[in-house]
Structure 1
Amino acid sequence: MNTPLSLPVRVLVKGASTVNWVSWMGGPRSDFTFPRAMEAKLLADGRPCDVHTVTMTSERTSMILSSWQREVLGFSPDVIVLVYGHYETIHLFLPRWLERHANTLRAKPRTLSGIYRSLVLRRVWKALARLQARIDSTLDPTLRRRRPQHVAADLERYITQVQKVGSPLVYVFELLPPASRYQAWFPGMTARIAVMNTALESMVDRVGKDNVRYFRVSDLVDEHAGGDPEIAAPDGFHYSPEMHRHIGTALALEIEAWADSQPHLGAEGSL
Structure 2
Amino acid sequence: MSELGDFLKARRAAITPEEVGLPPIGNPRRVKGLRREEVAQLAALSVDHYTRLEQGRVTATSENVLAGLARALRLTDDEHTYVRTLARSRPARRSPAAARVAGPVQDLLNALTHTPALVLGRRTDVLAWNRAAAALFVDFAALRPEHRNLVRLLFLDPRMRALYSDWPAVAAEAVASLRMDAVHATGDARLAELVGELSLRDDDFRRWWGGHAVRAAGGGRKRLRHPVVGAIELDWQAMRLGAAPDQTLVTYTAPAGGPDHDALRILTSWSTDPSRRG
Please, what TM-score do these two structures have when normalized by structure 1? 0.26
Q: How high is the TM-score relative to the length of structure 2?
A: 0.26
Q: Looking at CA atoms only, which structure, 1 or 2, has the larger radius of gyration?
A: 2
Q: Which has the higher contact order (CA 8 A, sep 6+)?
A: 1
